[in-house]
Amino acid sequence: MTSPAGVFAAALTPQKPDLSPDPQGLVRHCKNLLAGGCDGLSPLGTTGEANSFSVAERMALLDAIAASDIPPAKLIPGTGSCSLTDAVQLTRRVVEMGAAGALLLPPFYYKGVSDDGLFGFFAEIIQRVGDAKLKIYLYHFPQMTGLQLSLDLIARLLKAYPDTVVGLKNSSGDWANMEAMLKTFPGFRMFAGSERFLLQTLRLGGPGCISASTNVTAPLCADIYRNWRGADADARQERATRVRAVIEGFPAIAALKAIVARQTGNAAWTTLRPPLVRLTAEQERDLFQKLQAAGFALQAAAAE
Amino acid sequence: MTSPAGVFAAALTPQKPDLSPDPQGLVRHCKNLLAGGCDGLSPLGTTGEANSFSVAERMALLDAIAASDIPPAKLIPGTGSCSLTDAVQLTRRVVEMGAAGALLLPPFYYKGVSDDGLFGFFAEIIQRVGDAKLKIYLYHFPQMTGLQLSLDLIARLLKAYPDTVVGLKNSSGDWANMEAMLKTFPGFRMFAGSERFLLQTLRLGGPGCISASTNVTAPLCADIYRNWRGADADARQERATRVRAVIEGFPAIAALKAIVARQTGNAAWTTLRPPLVRLTAEQERDLFQKLQAAGFALQAAAAE
């Protein structure tokens, strides 16, 4: 199997009016994303609201994807939980379905825990899953987890599990941190957590990005990825960054759902599970105006 | 039913060598705590490592307590989760077993969420549980959740659900915040999250404390609670605070498990689920020395 690379979307999860996740809606959205320029998908991450769902709800979403014709080699689903046993169960399922990897958060309830404790958590999962096919992408998102995945911890995991711990999604938004990871661990597949850093990541040998906003910016990002060695790559990156900057000015997951609702004509897309809330009508108008000013096409991308 | 008050322990959860929680061990520990001076118990909170367990593991612990002769009116178990559906399932079980209340964390994965989103989370749980017997104690622990439960949010919840949202555990460690809650909402049952603030809380009309360290300091805290109007109450508080201060100098949950292991002669108590790790032998020696210097009796409290 070739290693996953390119533009990945941290897929949004559509929800029914009773706030239950919509497995078939997720499958349709995933297919739209692959058709629209994504090289791969990370469903059930932060953007997919996975930690707001029960394990049974998350398993049903994974089951629907597994039963579809989406190629598992294009998938790095989120399997993280603060519960060790839940993380094991979800990670096992992702290995079984033949996914390219599992995107694994550190255990995010406790704060101020030691590297020994974080190492113990990942080691326990790897041993309990006990499958050579397991490929872990660590999920570094200190703004949500309140935890750091230090270079020391990564080095220790790479030494203990060189065939299993293969990469990382870096959502820190801190380029100095991404650069340090890319330079310290050549060959370690560190995806940028935002397309804002796509070109810089590719230039340092990284595989691509896994981003929330690629739910709507996949074509812009694919344009960078296909042409990143070209003379005009910086201009392509600037175009994508302008759109990303608009989305960052709003609660991002609600903003992305509002855009997909507008593009698909399916208002059900604006449903979010608390604590997330949909944009107000005024925020929506403001968002759409700013996107158009940034050159972003809001017309229907794919009818639903 | 009289409202719960006094010294509550956020009960530790004993674990087997495979890191699975030990339901019968928890029941024994709860009984020891009640016999040792606790007025009530909050099992399955932060100290109980609840968020490191799956819902099935948490339900098995609740089932064991429900099947025991521990009076449910003395219980305010933790039922929080970042997953809405999990929090509903656990809260339902706690109402069914006749507990005095449910200790409910805000949804702790996302950060920077709005008061609207937090209100929506609690409102959704209250409506889904749909039982007049439900009594919610909000669990304010910003160091773990990264979230604030603002006075505005509490006021809004009290207005919407005056018979359901009855209290709060304040683990902020910030007396100014506790004082503001006690003074702003007379009759709202705000428990201090540490016995360090027990006397101050009682003097402002609060019901008591729900604390991690009362797993081992219950007699000292009961001594404050039984005599808080007495002339020597401050001296009693100082004695308890000295012991609490020692425990705060170590990773608290690991330290408490080490003390219970020593007191019961049952080394299995030192087992923790990652990301928590047991104290080193050197830390243990240091802890025990400092406790003895603070006048804390380490001899066996109850054999197991």
String of DSSP letters for chain A: -PPP-EEEE-----B-TTS-B-HHHHHHHHHHHHHTT-SEE--SSTTTTGGGS-HHHHHHHHHHHHHSSS-GGGB--B---SSHHHHHHHHHHHHHTT-S-EEE----SS-S--HHHHHHHHHHHHHHH--TT--EEEEE-HHHH-----HHHHHHHHHH-TTTEEEEEE-S--HHHHHHHHHHSTT-EEEESSGGGHHHHHHTT--EEEESTHHHHHHHHHHHHHTTTSTTHHHHHHHHHHHHHHHHTS-HHHHHHHHHHHHHT-GGGG---TT--PPPHHHHHHHHHHHHHTT---S-SS--
The amino acid at B32: N
Q: What is the pLDDT of residues B160-210, one digit of tens each?
A: 999 999 999 999 999 999 999 999 999 999 999 999 999 999 999 999 999
Q: What pLDDT does A300 receive? A: 55
Q: What pLDDT does A270 receive? A: 98
CB–CB contact A106 B19 (8 Å):
no
Contact B208, B8 (CB under 8 A): yes
| Residues of chain B contacting A106 with CB distance shorter than 8 Å | 275
Q: Kindly state the average pLDDT of the residues B97-102.
A: 98
- The complex scores an ipTM of 0.96
Q: Which residues pair with A165 in a beta bridge?
A: A136
Q: What is the pLDDT of residues A195-209, one digit of tens each?
A: 999 999 999 999 999
- Distance to chain B for A92, nearest Cα, Å: 15
What is the overall mean pLDDT for chain A? Answer: 97
- Distance to chain B for A80, nearest Cα, Å: 11
Q: Kindly state the average pLDDT of the residues A277-292.
A: 98
CA distance between the termini of chain B: 33
Q: What is the pLDDT of residues A88-130, one digit of tens each?
A: 999 999 999 999 999 999 999 999 999 999 999 999 999 999 9
CB–CB contact B117 A275 (8 Å):
yes
Using beta carbons and an 8 Å cutoff, which residues of A are at the interface with B? 19, 46, 51-55, 57, 82-86, 89, 106-114, 116-118, 120-121, 124, 143-144, 146, 251, 273-277
Q: Which residues pair with B167 in a beta bridge?
A: B137, B189
pLDDT classification of B303: cutoffs 50, 70, 90: very low
Adjacency order of strands within the sheet including A208-211: A40-41, A6-9, A208-211, A189-192, A165-170, A136-140, A102-104
CB–CB contact B117 A143 (8 Å):
no
d(CA A299, CA A262): 8
